[in-house]
Structure 1
Amino acid sequence: MYFTHNSRQEIIYESSRGFDLAEGPVWADFIDPQPAPGQTLIDVRAAAISHVVKARASGRHYSFDGNLPFVPGIDGVGTTPQGQRVYFAFPTAPFGSMAQRAPVALQNCLPLPDALDDIQAAAMANPGMSAWASLVTRAQLQAGETVLINGATGSAGQLAVQIARYLGAKKIIATGRNAQSLAALDADECIQLTADDKTLSGQFSAVSAAQIDVVIDYLWGHSAELLLPALAKYTPAGSPVRYVQVGSLAGADIALNGAVLRSAPLLLMGSGIGSLSVSQLLAATGEMLQAAVPGKLTIATTRGRCRRSRRPGRRTTAKSARFSPSDKKSLPHKRWG
C-alpha cells in the first residue's frame, strides 16, 4: 500500500492521555518543518506504508522511541528545492514521509534513475533494501551459489528472489504458505509451508543435502526450527551456510538445540537497523534502486491518495483521510501548531 499527497497536511500520531497509540492517527495540520544545516526540505511525491512503518506507527518496532506526536513514514520519493528527484530516508523526528514536506539529511537522499517511476521506487525501496542488504552486504552472495528464501511470497521475499536471480544465483529455493504465490515466483524449487512437520523436515533435508550456500529468513518461528537442524545435518565442513535472519513473521522466538550450532559450519547473523549502520542500509538501497531497471525488478502496488471527506455524526468541519481505497480507515481532523 502506498501513499500520495494532494493536501498541505500530515498524518499524525498523537495522544491526549499519554502514550496510547491505540487512539490511532489523525489527518491534521502540523508545525512547518524547518531544515537544519546539512538538511534539505523534500517535497514528497510518494511514501510507502511498509511493514516497518506500520510496526513503528503501532509502537511495536524496536526502533520506535515512544515520543508523541509524530508523523509516520520513514522514507519516500520526492524532489529537492533544486528540482532533483530523489529517494529519501529517515526524515528528522517528529516529521515523517506521510506529509507534503519532510526535512531530511542531505546524505539520506539518493538520486533516482529516470526510468524508475515514483510509485515503484517508493514501493520497492524498503523491501528491496532488506533483500539487497541481506543478500549482498550480509551474506555476500556470489554468482553460482544456491539460495533458500524462507518466506518468499511477501514483498521483500519476492524481491529477494528477483535480486538473487539478477546477481547470478545458480539455484533459488522459495518457501511460503500460498501455493499460487509460490508458483508465480521465478524460483527453481518451492516448498509449501502448510505441509506437516514430517513432510517439511524431509523437504528441508533434501534441499540441504544438495548444498545450500545462503538462507534469507523472513519468517523465523517454526519453519526455522525445522530448517536449521536439516542444514546442520547435511552441511559439509568447510562450506558454511550463511543464514541471515531478517524478519519474524512466523514468531519471534525459536527452540534451538545448541548442538545444532556446534555440530555444523552455520554462520547465523541478522540484517536490519542496528546490525547494519544507516550508511550501509542507504548504500544497499541505492545499489538496489540503480539495479531496478537493468534487473527488471518489480513489486505489486496499491496506490491510494489521501483525501478529505466528511464523517457521519461529526461536525461538518471535521475532515478525514484514507490511506488507500482498500484500507477503509478514516482519520479525525485536528490541528497542531
Structure 2
Amino acid sequence: MDNGEIMVGSNLDENVLDEVRKLYQSVYDRTPEPSTENEVLVDVLAAGLHPRVRSQANGSHYTSTDELPLIPGIDGVGRLSNGQLVYFVAFDTSLGTFAEKTVIDLRRSVPLPEGVDPVHIAAAMNPAMSSWVAFHRRIVFQPGQKVLVLGATGNSGQMAVQIAKLLGASQVIGAGRDQERLDALTALGADTIVSLAGESEAAAKRLGEAAAEVDIVIDYLWGKPTELAMISMLMQRADRSRALSWIQIGSVAGPTAAVPSAALRSANFQVLGCGQGSVSTAGYIAEFPALIDAIASGQLTVNAAPFPLAKVEEVWHAPTDSAQRVVFVPTI
C-alpha cells in the first residue's frame, strides 16, 4: 500500500500527516518475523474490508487497543511456504492482514480445499461467521424452527438468510430498509420480507404481524428498531411460553436498546449476544471447516468486489455498497 493515510483524518496539520505516514510506512515496509514455533510467514492472497476492520481502525470496536501505527485487517487467505492455501484469523495486534506478507499462528488457521477462490473465501467468511457461529455455538438450533433476520439487506444479513435456510429453518423472514435488496432476498432463501422503511412504529407493527411466531431472531440492527420490534412481536405472540431467542450481533441502528422488564417476565424470552468473548477463539476455529465447505461448494453466495492492495486508501474512503464485500489482493 502506498501510505498510511487511511488511519488519519484529512483535517490534521500536513506536517503531522507526513510524520504519521512515515511512521506507518516504516511498519508496513518491515517484513514481520515469526517468534514462536506455531507462527509462520505467509503471502497474503486476499483480505476483506469488513465493518469489523473499519471499527478496528477507528477505535470504536470493543476489542480495539488504540495502538498505532496500525496495519488494518483481521483475517484473510494466505499461502504457506509449501504452497498450501489457508484461511486464517490474525493476531489481536497492530499488524493486520492488509499487507503482502504477514505472520500467522497455524492454530488460528485451516487448510483450504484445492481450487478454491481466495477472494471468495476472504469475502464470505467474516460476514457468514457471525450467524453461523450464533446458530451453532449460542443456541441449540433445531431444523424446522423459524428465523427472523433483522438487518437482512447488508452482507452479513444476506448470509444469515442463506445460512438459516441451509440449516433447515422452516421459515426465514428478512427485514430491512432497502426495498431493492429486500426483494433480492427471496432468491437467497427468504420466505417473507418485511420493509422497515418509513415511520418506526409502523415498521415495528408490520414486523410484529409477520414475525411474532419466530423462534430465533438474528439481530444486526439493535437500537430503537430492536426496542420497538421486541414489544410488537411479543404482544402479538400467540403462546408467550414458547421460547424466543434474540441474538444480538450488530448495532447498525445504535449501540444501546432499552429492553422492557415486562418482556423478560411475561414471555419465555432470552436476549444474548454473539461475538468475540461470548464465543472463544477455539469455538470459532472449530466452525471454520464446515463453513468453508459450504462456501466452496456454492451453497452460500457472496458478492465479492476485489481491488488491488495499492488502492486501499482510495477504496477505504469511497462510498461502499453494503451488499458487496471489498477484498484487497496483491495484484489484479
TM bracket (short chain): 0.7 to 0.9
Query: What 5-or-longer segments of structure 1 have no aligned partner?
Result: 1-6, 309-320, 329-337
Cα RMSD, aligned residues only: 2.6
Equivalent residue for 1:3?
none
Look up the SS of the partner of 2:310 in the other structure: coil
Equivalent residue for 1:41?
41
Query: 1:200 and 2:199 equivalent?
Result: no
Query: 1:304 and 2:295 equivalent?
Result: no
Given that residues 201 and 228 in structure 2 are in contact (C-alpha distance below 8 angstroms), is that contact kept between their aligned partners in structure 1? no
Using the alignment, how far apart are the partners of 2:259 and 2:298 within structure 1?
Answer: 37
Kindly report which structure 2 residues correspond to 1:123-134, keeping only aligned pairs within 5 A, or say none.
123-134=123-134
Q: Residue 275 of structure 1: CA displacement?
A: 0.9
Given that residues 139 and 214 in structure 1 are in contact (C-alpha distance below 8 angstroms), is that contact kept between their aligned partners in structure 2? no
Given that residues 147 and 169 in structure 2 are in contact (C-alpha distance below 8 angstroms), is that contact kept between their aligned partners in structure 1? yes
Equivalent residue for 2:221?
219
Using the alignment, how far apart are the partners of 1:176 and 1:270 within structure 2?
Answer: 20
Displacement over 4 Å in runs of 4+ = 9-15, 22-27
Kindly report which structure 2 residues correspond to 1:151-230, keeping only aligned pairs within 5 A, or say none.
151-185=151-185, 186-209=189-212, 211-230=213-232
Q: Residue 195 of structure 1: CA displacement?
A: 3.5
Kindly report which structure 2 residues correspond to 1:1-337, keeping only aligned pairs within 5 A, or say none.
26=21, 28=25, 29-37=28-36, 38-91=38-91, 93-185=93-185, 186-209=189-212, 211-233=213-235, 234=237, 236-294=239-297, 296-307=299-310, 322-324=313-315, 327=318
Look up the SS of the partner of 1:132 in the other structure: helix
Look up the SS of the partner of 2:161 in the other structure: helix
Given that residues 244 and 269 in structure 2 are in contact (C-alpha distance below 8 angstroms), is that contact kept between their aligned partners in structure 1? yes
Using the alignment, how far apart are the partners of 2:56 and 2:17 within structure 1?
Answer: 15
Using the alignment, how far apart are the partners of 1:50 and 1:94 within structure 2?
Answer: 16
Tell me which amino acid in the other structure corresponds to 1:216. I
Given that residues 205 and 229 in structure 2 are in contact (C-alpha distance below 8 angstroms), is that contact kept between their aligned partners in structure 1? no
Given that residues 306 and 323 in structure 1 are in contact (C-alpha distance below 8 angstroms), is that contact kept between their aligned partners in structure 2? no
TM-score, normalization by structure 1? 0.82
Equivalent residue for 1:334?
none
Given that residues 147 and 171 in structure 2 are in contact (C-alpha distance below 8 angstroms), is that contact kept between their aligned partners in structure 1? yes
Using the alignment, how far apart are the partners of 1:95 and 1:201 within structure 2?
Answer: 43
Equivalent residue for 2:327?
none
Cα–Cα, structure 1 residues 286 and 292, in superposed 2: closer, same or farther, change >3 Å?
Answer: same
Using the alignment, how far apart are the partners of 1:258 and 1:146 within structure 2?
Answer: 25
Given that residues 143 and 170 in structure 1 are in contact (C-alpha distance below 8 angstroms), is that contact kept between their aligned partners in structure 2? yes
Q: Residue 175 of structure 1: CA displacement?
A: 0.3
Q: Residue 148 of structure 1: CA displacement?
A: 0.1
Given that residues 221 and 254 in structure 2 are in contact (C-alpha distance below 8 angstroms), is that contact kept between their aligned partners in structure 1? yes
Tell me which amino acid in the other structure corresponds to 2:302. I
Q: Residue 294 of structure 1: CA displacement?
A: 3.6
Using the alignment, how far apart are the partners of 1:323 and 1:160 within structure 2?
Answer: 30
Per residue, is there more helix in 1 or in 2? Answer: 2
Given that residues 13 and 69 in structure 1 are in contact (C-alpha distance below 8 angstroms), is that contact kept between their aligned partners in structure 2? no
Query: What 5-or-longer segments of structure 2 have no aligned partner?
Result: 320-332
Using the alignment, how far apart are the partners of 1:107 and 1:91 within structure 2?
Answer: 11
Greater alpha carbon shift after TM alignment, 60-69 vs 149-158: 60-69
Tell me which amino acid in the other structure corresponds to 1:172. V
Q: Residue 111 of structure 1: CA displacement?
A: 1.2
Q: Deviations over 1:221-255 (max 9, x none)?
A: 12211211133331625421111000000011122
Cα–Cα, structure 1 residues 244 and 87, in superposed 2: closer, same or farther, change >3 Å?
Answer: same
Greater alpha carbon shift after TM alignment, 132-141 vs 67-76: 132-141
Identity across aligned pairs (percent)? Answer: 33
Given that residues 216 and 243 in structure 1 are in contact (C-alpha distance below 8 angstroms), is that contact kept between their aligned partners in structure 2? yes
Cα–Cα, structure 1 residues 75 and 39, in superposed 2: closer, same or farther, change >3 Å?
Answer: same
Q: Residue 298 of structure 1: CA displacement?
A: 1.5
Given that residues 146 and 212 in structure 1 are in contact (C-alpha distance below 8 angstroms), is that contact kept between their aligned partners in structure 2? yes
Using the alignment, how far apart are the partners of 2:198 and 2:222 within structure 1?
Answer: 17
Q: Residue 141 of structure 1: CA displacement?
A: 2.2
Q: Residue 212 of structure 1: CA displacement?
A: 0.7
Cα–Cα, structure 1 residues 14 and 299, in superposed 2: closer, same or farther, change >3 Å?
Answer: closer
